[in-house]
Amino acid sequence: MPIFLKILFSCIFFITYPNLDISYYAILNEKYYLVVVDNYINDDFGNRGLSYNCIKIFKDITLTQQFCFNVNAIIKIVDKMPFFTIETLQQNRIGETTNTYLTFQLINDKFYLYQYSKKEWHMYKDKEAIDNIFIYYRQPRDLQNKKLILLDNVNDELLQNLEESK
């Protein structure tokens, strides 16, 4: 059985709650495996509401790194090793949409936060109209010769602090 299937089966084995789901998985550089475990709450109408996602990184079948954060939907994971980017999407009731981008860089077998950014946009005449682009953190700019932010240390509080510091 391929390694990736073993990882998925091991993740599924530990999912015992009704509102847990493997929402995304990817193979990074044929060496690392990424699994997104989605913990969600249904609203009164049975629709999926709030989500809390945990990103798990495996090397072979060993869990090496992980972090969790609040997000409605992970829509894409882009692998451009030594970088990978998680793109999320959140939309309010009047159609304003925010895409969040978390880019990580592989350094010495560990992933570190490279960039944290957001794009706010809305649809206008069937076209995307960009309202704002924010770059809250960019490793080469913000941490020259300072301690890097390990993937395991990323959480909602850290992301909020990065937003407030800009």
- Burial pattern 109-139, b for ≥16 Cβ within 10 A else e, equals eebbbbbbbbbebeeeeeeeeeeeeeebbeb
How many Cβ atoms are within 10 Å of 68's Cβ, its own excluded? 15
pLDDT value of residue 8: 56
State the Cα–Cα distance between residues 133 and 94, nearest whole angstrom: 19
State the Cα–Cα distance between residues 152 and 60, nearest whole angstrom: 18
The answer to whether 8 and 1 have CB atoms below 8 angstroms apart is no
Q: Which tens digits make up the pLDDT trace of 79-126? A: 998 999 999 888 877 778 889 999 999 999 999 999 999 999 887 888
The residue that leads in pLDDT, 25 or 76, is 76
Using the structure block, give the residue that is written with the tokens 């995307």: 128
pLDDT value of residue 128: 81
Say which range, 2-16, 29-43, 138-152, has the weakest mean pLDDT: 2-16
The reply to whether the predicted model has a pTM over 0.85 is: no
Q: Which residues pair with 56 in a beta bridge?
A: 35, 66
Q: Which tens digits make up the pLDDT trace of 16-56? A: 455 666 667 788 878 888 888 777 777 777 776 667 788 88
Tokens representing 52 are: 């809390």
Confidence of residue 1 (pLDDT cuts 50, 70, 90): very low
pLDDT value of residue 160: 94
Q: Which tens digits make up the pLDDT trace of 47-71? A: 766 677 888 898 888 889 999 888 7
Confidence of residue 6 (pLDDT cuts 50, 70, 90): low
